[in-house]
């Protein structure tokens, strides 16, 4: 996906963050995400964000299904405000 709602994908800060303290290395998130966003770091034995802009904007599936609750996404209200501003600037 090169853009989302007319905004270049690379300008949208929507991708997971992994709390390495909580991550157990179960790889559930990697199995769930079919977009190659996540990968497994053999040295740390933890998941990591490998391709952040492959993440589908507003998808939170990996976070919802992470058994360790180690994955988070941007705050919903802040993200909505960000998108509104981007769309407003695009129109003007």
Give residue-wise pLDDT tens across range 56-72. Answer: 999 999 999 999 999 99
Query: Across the chain, what does the average pLDDT equal?
Result: 95
Is the pLDDT confidence value at 91 over 80? no
pLDDT category of residue 1 using cuts at 50, 70 and 90:
low
d(CA 53, CA 35): 10
DSSP state of 32: H
List phi, psi (to 5°) of 50: -95, -40
Domains and CATH numbers, the chain: 3-91 (3.30.70.20)
């Amino acid at each position: 996906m090169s853009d989302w709602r007319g905004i270049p994908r690379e300008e949208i800060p929507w991708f997971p963050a992994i709390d390495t303290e909580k991550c157990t290395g179960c790889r559930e998130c990697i199995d769930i995400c079919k977009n190659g966003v996540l990968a497994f770091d053999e040295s740390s034995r933890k998941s990591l964000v490998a391709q952040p802009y492959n993440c589908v904007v507003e998808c939170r599936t990996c976070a919802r299904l992470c058994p360790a609750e180690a994955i988070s996404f941007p705050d919903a209200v802040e993200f909505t405000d960000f998108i509104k501003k981007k769309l407003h600037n695009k129109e003007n």
